[in-house]
Amino acid sequence: MAVNVPQTVFEALSVVVYCFVLIVIITSKQRVFKTAFYLVFVATGCADVISIFVNGFLRIKRQLGLGPDYQHVASFCVSTSGYTFVVHMLGNLIIAFNRYSAVCLGQHYEKIWTTRNTWIAVVFQYFISIAAIGHTIGAKMTYVHNPDGSYTFTSLEKRIDVINRFIYFGVCLIYAIISVILNVLLMYKFHHLSRLNENVKQAHHEKRLFLYTLIVFAFSLLMCAQQIGKVFVIFSANTDFLTWISIQFFWINDAMVSLPPYSLLMLCSHLRQDTMDFLRCKRQRSTALPVSTSNTRIMKMKTSIVPRFVK
C-alpha cells in the first residue's frame, strides 16, 4: 500500500500551525490568554501535537507494511497514541465544563477556576491518562504476514487489547454523555441570556469560544462513534469490517486533534491579532476586555453574567 502523501502533508502542516498557535498563546502578554480556558487548551494541545506525530508514524508503518523489526518503536507509539487520546478527551471535557461554568455558574466562576484549581485539573488530566494507558507500555504486537512479504499490524497481545477496548469504550461513553449534557444546558442558558440581555450579544469573544467548543465536541463525538463501534465489531468477529473501521481511526484522529488550532484562529479575533503582531514583531500588553455595564441595579443584575463571558 502506498503512503498517503496528502494526509502526510496535512499532518505536517497541522503540527506547524498547532505549535505556532501554542507559542503565540504561551508568549502572549494579553490577559485573555492567561485564563483557564487557554491554559487547558495549551495543555491539551501539547498532547495533540504528539498524537499527530505518533499516529502519523503508525499510519505510514501500516501503509508500508513494516513488520516486527520496528516493533519496539511501534509499541511505544501505540501506547503514546492511547495516552494522548485520553488526554485529548479529558481536555475537551474540562473545556466544556469551563464554558458551562462561565455561562451557567457565573457567580461561582472565579472560585472554581482559580489558577490553582486549573493546574489541578491539568495534572488530573495527565495523571488519569497515564493510569489508564500505563499497562500498554512494552506490550507485544501481533502481525499478519502477507503473501507479498509485507506485514499488517492487527492488535496488541489479546489480553491487553481487550482491556484497551473497554478503557476506550468507557472514556468515549463518559465523554459523550457528560459533554452532551453540558453543551445542551449551555446552549439553552446561552439562548435564554441572549434574549434577556442585549449586552450578552456584545460578548463576541465568549460566543466564539462557545462555538469552538461545539465544533470540537462534534468531531470528538465522531471519534467516540469509531471507538465504540470498534468494540461491537470486535465481538462480532467480522474481520473485514474490523480492518476497515480500524483504518478510519487515522483520518478521524487527524481531524479531531488538528481542528482546535484552525478553528480557534478562525473564531478568536484576539488570537488572530496577536498572531499578526507576533509575525510583525509588534506585541504589547493588552488591557482587560471591555465589559458593558449599567447604572441601574436591575441592569447590573441582568448583566452580572457578562464578566464571565470575557474570561
Residue-wise pLDDT tens digits, 10-42? 999 999 999 999 999 999 988 889 999 999 999
Ranges 130-134, 250-254, 288-292: which has the least confidence? 288-292
Residue 246 lies in a domain: yes
Q: What is the pLDDT of residue 145?
A: 77
Q: Which residue has the cell 463501534?
A: 229
CATH of the domain at 176: 1.20.1070.10
Residue 146 lies in a domain: yes
Question: pLDDT grade, residue 291 (50/70/90)?
Answer: very low
Q: Is the pLDDT assigned to residue 70 strictly greater than 90?
A: no
Q: Is the pLDDT assigned to residue 44 strictly greater than 60?
A: yes
Q: Is the pLDDT assigned to residue 130 strictly greater than 60?
A: yes
| C-alpha to C-alpha distance for 113 and 215, rounded to whole angstroms | 23
CB distance 116 to 110 below 8 Å? no
Q: What is the mean pLDDT of residues 147-168?
A: 82
CB distance 9 to 53 below 8 Å? no
Residue 292 lies in a domain: no
| C-alpha to C-alpha distance for 164 and 55, rounded to whole angstroms | 16
Better-predicted residue by pLDDT, 238 or 134: 134
Provide the percentage of residues in the chain whose pLDDT is more than 70: 86
- The domain of 73 spans 5-270
Apex 248 CA angle, 151 and 61, nearest 5? 30
- For residue 153, the cross-strand partners are 143
Looking at the structure of the chain, the number of domains it has is 1
Question: pLDDT grade, residue 119 (50/70/90)?
Answer: very high
**C-alpha 106: how far from chain center:** 24
Residue 290 lies in a domain: no
Most confident of 48-52, 228-232, 281-285: 48-52
Residue 299 lies in a domain: no
pTM of the model: 0.84
**Angle 115-133/71-104 helices, nearest 10 degrees?**
150
Question: pLDDT grade, residue 299 (50/70/90)?
Answer: very low
Distances 200 to 297, 308, 309 between C-alpha atoms, Å: 17, 10, 8
Residue 289 lies in a domain: no
Q: Is the pLDDT assigned to residue 304 strictly greater than 60?
A: no
- For residue 155, the cross-strand partners are 142
Alpha helices in 204-238 (DSSP H): 204-236
Q: What is the pLDDT of residue 303?
A: 41
Q: Please name the helix (run of DSSP H) or strand (run of DSSP E) that holds residue 142, with its range, or none.
A: strand 141-145
Residue 286 lies in a domain: no
Better-predicted residue by pLDDT, 197 or 19: 19
Q: What is the pLDDT of residue 55?
A: 93
Q: What are the φ and ψ backbone dihedral angles of 264, each rounded to 5 degrees?
A: -70, -40
Q: Please name the helix (run of DSSP H) or strand (run of DSSP E) that holds residue 144, with its range, or none.
A: strand 141-145
SS3 104: helix
Q: Which residue has the cell 474540562?
A: 94
Q: Is the pLDDT assigned to residue 173 strictly greater than 90?
A: yes
CB distance 200 to 306 below 8 Å? yes
Residue 104 lies in a domain: yes
Better-predicted residue by pLDDT, 184 or 207: 184
Ranges 46-50, 134-138, 189-193: which has the least confidence? 189-193
Q: What is the mean pLDDT of the chain?
A: 82
- Residues 251-277: tens digit of each pLDDT: 999 999 999 999 999 888 888 889 898
